[in-house]
Structure 1
């Protein structure tokens, strides 16, 4: 357990955050309780964060920046702090994922990290990291911030039907997770397709993988295993896996039909028969029919103007 006397600011981003928080708090002439009162938390929490026993949040950081007049210093540090909570072998991929313009991924068993709910992520992390669930869940959810940027990456996800049926965290967690996936049906930069079991053999049977494309850098191929990740820009690998991914997309259900399958699984397997006042499946059908109606109106209008 760290203490304020022995904290080494060069040890990690979290240690640097705690060291800077103590230094700037003391420079402002405040003790922990006084700063806590200003930013609406306890002095004990301030002390825990200063000694790295507690992970700061973005909200905490914003309030500290405002209280100490640090011009966003702690808010900017949060990205580094949260990234450092990811497994060391995964951090290089997370760095590249955040810079990518296009992300294409096939997931054989689980929902892709950028689309996971907090409860789903925590249930997964509890298996291998029971003592670091809070920190690692916060780090995983922070990765999702790239989808909320002003210029987000285009994200194409092909999910095996197995990802819908693999119960993670219990029925309630799965209902919430599948509802979350349905919420991306109209997202302009996110496309989710489900690869049903009925397709038989396919180009993804070797397992999950991800392709990253950049505006000015070479494409990357990434695959992970239990305790390590492999990333390469080898052109032959990129070519082979890009063709394989195109085949997966062509074989998978359309985004609309995928949403219908997700809704069907949510109702039949996890017992949810009410989404926005009606069944999830009915809701998706209504939305699909409405989109078809709008397209038909636009098509007829163009014909009249021709």
Structure 2
């Protein structure tokens, strides 16, 4: 089968495929040099595939699958890549947000009721999801998104989220301690929104921005989330996020408020 064509190199789709190869390689306990030796290519070529810098052929994907004992997972990922790049662009209301998020260089999040999934502790996530398999899946996704090179992540969190009990008091204390820790990491900015009215903000949402500046959004509604790459939706959400950041506490004051809530409510 021929090499996939139709999308430029270094696309979100290629980076998604590369991230899956990297995940399976690391799960197999191999570095890039060892994998390269198994499939008879240079380490640089393996690196280019994992970083989404080149489009590998099906026969190479097949060799990777065998070398990593991936049981068809790499072949499935390659086939999904092929199907995706057959289209010329994302459908306006049919974007796979988790895949777009995985390859984003910038993620912006507004949360109204709970801590965002990327920042949840396992205990906090477990109290929300109930199902252990769903919790494990969320933890795995966190690891994928937060691995190097990690995207910049800006979060505006409503103050009520800090006060709303999810699980036990111990679960809440651990969650807010973890939020504090994350807020000190390079590339992560956490701001708390006081109980003020921001006219444009009507629901939680996330925006994932790629290195080529293309964007997709995930918008929470009453029953399920809606994913959109509509220019109109994204323009509105970008404006809303700017308004939220303007009304939110700055990063230092946000940390101080989180510490205060931990001491006064969750200790």
Q: Return the TM-score normalized by structure 1.
A: 0.57
Deviations 1:183-240 (A, max 9, x none): 023211111110011xx21146411011111113621121134653211122122111
Within-5 A mapping of 1:4-15: none
Q: 1:176, 1:76 → 2: CA distance?
A: 38
Give SS of 2:177's match. Answer: helix
Helix, strand or coil at the partner of 1:183: helix
Aligned residues: 195
Residue among 106, 125, 129 paired with 1:102: 106
- Which residue, out of 142, 164, 167, partners 1:166? 164
- The partner residue of 1:119 within 123, 136, 154 is 123
Within-5 A mapping of 1:122-141: 122-126=126-130, 133-141=131-139
The answer for the alignment partner of 2:227 in structure 1 is 231
Aligned partners of 1:71, 1:99: CA distance in 2, in Å? 25
State the superposition RMSD in angstroms.
3.1
- Counterpart CA distance in 1 for 2:259 and 2:72 is 39
Higher-RCO chain (CA-CA 8 Å, sequence separation at least 6) = 2
Contact 1:195 1:253 in 2 (8 A): yes
Return the alpha-carbon distance in structure 1 between the equivalents of residues 137 and 214 of structure 2: 26
Aligned ranges 1:1-306 → 2 under 5 Å: 62=28, 71-74=67-70, 77=73, 92-126=96-130, 133-197=131-195, 200-203=196-199, 205-216=201-212, 218-225=214-221, 227-271=223-267
Going from structure 1 to structure 2, the CA distance change for 1:75 and 1:170 (only over 3 Å counts) comes to farther
Distance 1:172 1:213 in 2: 35
For structure 1, list consecutive stretches of 5 or more residues without a partner in the other structure: 1-57, 64-68, 82-89, 127-132, 272-306
What is the CA-CA distance between 1:97 and the residue it aligns to?
Answer: 1.0
| Distance change (3 Å), C-alpha of 1:202 and 1:192 | same
Residues 61, 74 of structure 1: 8 Å contact kept: no
Distance 1:245 1:203 in 2: 11
